[in-house]
Structure 1
Amino acid sequence: MRGEDLESSRAKDRGESSSSTSYAIEERDNQWTSWLIPMFVVANVAMFVITMLINNCPKHNPRFDGKCVARFLGRFSFQPLKENPLLGPSASTLEKLGALEWRKVVHKHQGWRLISCIWLHAGVIHLLVNMLSLVIIGIHLEQQFGFVRIGVIYLLSGFGGSILSSLFIQRSISVGASGALFGLLGAMLAELITNWTIYTNKAAAILTIIFIVAINLGVGILPHVDNYAHIGGFLTGFLLGFILLPRPQYGWINRRDLPAGVRSRSRYKAYQYGLGLVSLILLVAGFTVGLVMLFRGENANDRCHWCHYLNCVPTSRWKCDDN
């Protein structure tokens, strides 16, 4: 049951007249048409096609000419599986097109890589998993909150994930939209918390989101997965959710419907303003500190000696490194 319906029914149970409750709750629930998220999907797919076109395995890797995967695709064929098991281009091609690489960001002043890397993918498998997740998560959020807020969350979360990744991983490249996707997950969790009172199945909703995030972060401790980008994107989206996604709570009275001389209630609760303000301060501070550390060339591993376990946990089956 929506919060508006619940509040209206309670008013009727208290014996209030229809005239006194007709203006007490705003019942409009705008639904936006999702177009930005589909455009993001198209942009990512198009960028992957361009990447494979430039990669051209048979021409640029003559020693692999017979070992390129799916040779019938011609210049779109994939690198040998030993080099790229995700069915994609070479690392050198990704680096050429804007992959996140610490030395080029810091020493060659190519800060644009912090954004360009989120539009590149390491292979078909990588692309399909991320785009499927983007469609499932992003379209719903865009329909609820509009393209501006969701677009801001997506881009800033990808940026935040890139900052954290480059602070900890400095000997390999990183690509993918997963930092931005984790930002959308973080925003969903924050939206649930800040709009707590309008949901009915609160426990089920929050446990579902936490379970999804935990599973994905758990996958991130496998080798060759940039879990720092996941964590940075999630934290950025989580803070942005408190800033951009609060909803009007129970009892909001529309000023236009009020009788003369009657004061309206605030659209938002005090705790929503508080969470938004604290989140804004933390977000600005986090971005500032992260960027200062990054362009000073600092290695965050020197300040956190156990943080490498957040990105990869060594086992008897694999070793952890930056490659």
Structure 2
Amino acid sequence: MWKKWKTVPWFLGTMSLAQAIVLVYTLVVNYNNTGEFIQTNPFNFLIGPTTGTLLLTGARYVPCMKPVAPYVNSSIICIPGINPSVPGQPCTLLDFCGMGGFPSGQPNQWYRLIVPIFLHGGVLHYALNMTLQMRAGFGLESEFGSLRIGLIYMISGIGGFLFGANFSPLTPSVGCSGALFGLIACLMIDLVQNWSLVEQPLKNFFVLLGVTIFSFLMGLLPLFDNFAHIGGFVFGFTSGLFLMPLLENQELDSTKPSAFKRMGLNRQNWKRLFMLVGFSLTVLLYVVLFIRFYSNRDDCSWCKYLNCIPGLPWCQDKWNQMGSN
């Protein structure tokens, strides 16, 4: 398999290894705090640690990132994994957040937009993400280079958690799913940009579209944060517009002219326009979401339906975690 790659996927290979090491670390922390490597009561079907352990090791959780009433000055009921407290007894927000506390005196752990990319809810969660990361991500990195794919991966992963922090602030979230959704968006961009070079492009498009829709539907299930998926896809698309390259014109089959040529347009000029639009949208989205996050706005009553469709029995629990009615 390695010999088929144009270049070795160093970035995603290193990320996969780091994510495995961090998973083992969270299981060890869980054992130290609960006496069990894997949460059994209730059983974590992802085969992993408690929510408390994930919070202590860096899960995206907005009350640890900025002041959120009433969490700053009120006691919180402890949950398994928060050490050295006893589950069911009062805890402070600092007990929940850990990670060096709040040097400024107020919650300000902004790095919880980055650290969760390395965390997973369990062995099953890690295995599912690695299946896509290795099958799709390694190929993209081999084809287009570590720097380009690494940038898209991190822009999408951080953007996904930022999107979720805006619309699902009380839901702890971990995993590289947002980054992977960004890579799915890049696969779409690569297919469309180089449509004439692909065998059976329409078939490939519908297969990719089906995978994308199925993945978003998975995000409606309990314990999944669909906002991170949506945000990662959006940022993957915008960043892919300016980071994903066009293949060289001379590679185009003269008997199968590109859509750009059929429209009488220059591919390179269109690509430059896409790059400008993609870069501008990426920066604008980051600025808008950060401003919205720190201004504590809550002006999207319908956004909760992106995380769960009414009628599903677990929706109310997901909406309560979002702070929605």
Structure 2 CA distance for aligned equivalents of residues 220 and 125 of structure 1: 15
Distance between the aligned counterparts of 1:34 and 1:284, measured in 2?
27
Match of 2:316 among 308, 311, 320: 320
Task: Map 1:152-301 to 2 at 5 A.
Answer: 152-251=151-250, 268-299=267-298
User: Alignment partner of 1:320: what SS?
Assistant: helix
- Which whole-Å deviations, capped at 9, do the CAs of 1:67-124 have from their partners, x for residues lacking one? x5xxxxxxxx211151522211111111111110111112312111000011111111
Residue 21 of structure 2 corresponds to residue 33 of structure 1: no
Alpha-carbon contact 1:188-1:238 (below 8 Å) kept: no
Letter of the structure 2 residue corresponding to residue 137 of structure 1:
A
- Structure 2 CA distance, aligned partners of 1:39 and 1:217? 27
Question: How does the TM-score come out when normalised to structure 2?
Answer: 0.76
How big is each residue's C-alpha offset from its partner over 1:98-155, in whole Å with a ceiling of 9 and x where there is no partner? 1101111123121110000111111111111111111011110011001000111111
Gaps of 5+ in 2: 68-106, 252-265
Contact 1:195 1:246 in 2 (8 A): no
Which deviates more from structure 2 when the two are superposed, residues 285-294 or residues 216-225? Answer: 216-225
Unaligned runs of 5+ in 1: 1-29, 69-76, 253-266
1:228-271 per-position Cα deviation (integer Å, ceiling 9, x unaligned): 0000001111112111112244248xxxxxxxxxxxxxx95221
Task: Name 1:5's counterpart in structure 2.
Answer: none
- Match of 1:321, SS state, is helix
Answer whether contact 1:154 1:181 (CA < 8 A) is retained: yes
Contact between 1:220 and 1:227, CA under 8 Å: does it hold in 2?
yes
AA matched with 1:311:
N
Asked whether the equivalents of residues 196 and 202 of structure 1 are also in contact (C-alpha less than 8 Å), the reply is yes
CA distance in 2, matches of 1:273, 1:250: 15
1: CA distance between counterparts of 2:212 and 2:194? 19
Contact 1:86–1:126 (CA<8 Å) still a contact in 2?
A: yes
CA distance in 1: counterparts of 2:44 and 2:128, whole angstroms: 16
In the alignment, the residues of structure 1 paired with residue 17 and residue 8 of structure 2 have an alpha-carbon distance, to the nearest angstrom, of 17
| Counterpart for residue 99 of structure 1 | 59
Number of the residue aligned with 1:306: 302
Provide the rounded CA distance (Å) in 1 between the counterparts of 2:296 and 2:56. Answer: 22
CA distance in 2, matches of 1:36, 1:181: 14
What SS is found at the alignment partner of 1:86? coil
Distance 1:190 1:96 in 2: 37
Whole-angstrom CA distance in 1 between matches of 2:220 and 2:175: 16
TM-score by length of 1: 0.77
For residue 271 of structure 1, what is the amino acid of its counterpart?
W
1:89 aligns with 2:49: yes
Counterpart residue number, 2:39: 79
Q: What RMSD in Å do the two structures reach over aligned CA positions? A: 2.2
C-alpha distance in 1 between matches for 2:245 and 2:178: 22
Q: State, as a whole percentage, how many aligned pairs show the same letter.
A: 33
Paired amino acid for 2:283: V
Q: Which has the larger radius of gyration?
A: 1
Q: Deviations over 1:131-190 (max 9, x none)?
A: 111101111001100100011111110001001100011222111110011010011111
